[in-house]
Amino acid sequence: MSKKVTLATIAHTCGISVGTVSRALSEKPDSNPETKASVLETAAQLGYQKFNGMADRKELRIGIVYCQKSEEFYERVTAGILDAERELQKNHPVRVTLLRTEYLEQKEQSELLQSLCPDDFDALLINSASNGNGVLIDQLIAQGLPVATFNTDAPTSERLFFVGTNAYQSGCMSASLMGKLMGEKGKVLILGNFAGSSCWMDRFSGFCSVIQNDFPNILLMPSIQCYKSDHIVAQEIKTLLAENPDITGIFPTNATCTCGTIEALRELDRKDLSVVGYDLSSGTRAALIDGYCDAVLHQNPYRQGYLAVKCMTKYLLNHQLPDRNEISLPTNIILKYNMATC
């Protein structure tokens, strides 16, 4: 029995990405004419059966790989996913399956991805734990399974598209605000999971770039790797503040580190530190009001989950990809004065 010819097969033969092949086959106006001709010729030579959508399928099965942490961020992501599913079901049966890991870690997510049977799904949406999982994503795509990422990306993979925010840009925004809050001088502590997703490293890189270029009198302390729970982060913060009483600013690069920072500062009753963190929740709202946090970067997690499901379903039904392979949602700076708008 001959092996099924997939988009990945054509991409490998042509030496281009799966997304480029998909655009060429789907009559996208931005497709390069020479590339389009090459793709069509290769597809014909390989005997590719052009995709006509899955409108006749009884049910579309989309697996969602992400984190099960009880943060309000992921609760909002889930709400967006399920609302999109309900809306889509009015016109076509769509079933999402939530495939959740305890933490957003490469090893744990890799084990989950390796355990999946591609035949059980029509597509996967992955909250990528690491660039290192790009190889596994490409293996799934090579087996004919469409894969896209959301919230955190695997940019070196052949994923179809990414839905999320610009992490580097948000790091730059955080640094610009932090520098002004600190009066352009002092010592700042950075917390996060820098061994994980490229998202956190991009935030870190953007932050450090702006601080070093625009605020030469602010000293960047060595970054601290901590993220597994609010309480662990809080204990780490209290120890670091005791050992480094000259710290004047803290930049936690994710929701867990932000909540842990707030917990520590509440216990110490410290409102004198400048804090710019991530994600709007009941805890960060209270901290903004009470003065234990100056600002948070809001990523609209609901919209991320919602759009990821909508875009993948559109692709499955009509073979239509988004106009751009990165759907960048705005990152909003939230202060106590404007949080009622979110």
Cα–Cα distance measured from residue 316 to residue 296, given in angstroms and rounded to the nearest whole number: 36
**pLDDT single digits (tens) 38-63:** 878 888 888 776 555 555 567 899 99
| In the predicted structure, residue 1 carries a pLDDT above the cut 50 | no
Quick: pLDDT tens for 245-300: 999 999 999 888 999 999 999 999 999 999 999 999 999 999 999 999 999 999 99
Segment 318-328 shows an average pLDDT of 88
Q: Are 225 and 190 in contact (CB under 8 A)?
A: no
CATH code of domain 167-298: 3.40.50.2300
Domain ranges (residues) in the chain:
7-46, 60-164+301-328, 167-298
Q: Please give the pLDDT value at position 57.
A: 61
The pTM score is 0.84
Residue 219 pLDDT exceeds 90: yes
The answer to whether the 60-164+301-328 and 167-298 domains have the same CATH topology is yes
Closest CA to 226 of 263, 255, 181, 191: 191
Asked if CATH classification 3.40.50.2300 holds for the domain at 60-164+301-328, the reply, yes or no, is yes
Q: Quick one: pLDDT at residue 231?
A: 87
**How buried is residue 272: exposed, middle or buried, by Cβ count under 10 Å (0-12/13-18/19+)?**
exposed
Contacts of 5 (CB under 8 A, 6+ apart): 43, 46, 47, 48, 49
CB 251 within 8 A of CB 205: no
- How many Å apart are CA 339 and CA 237, to the nearest integer? 26
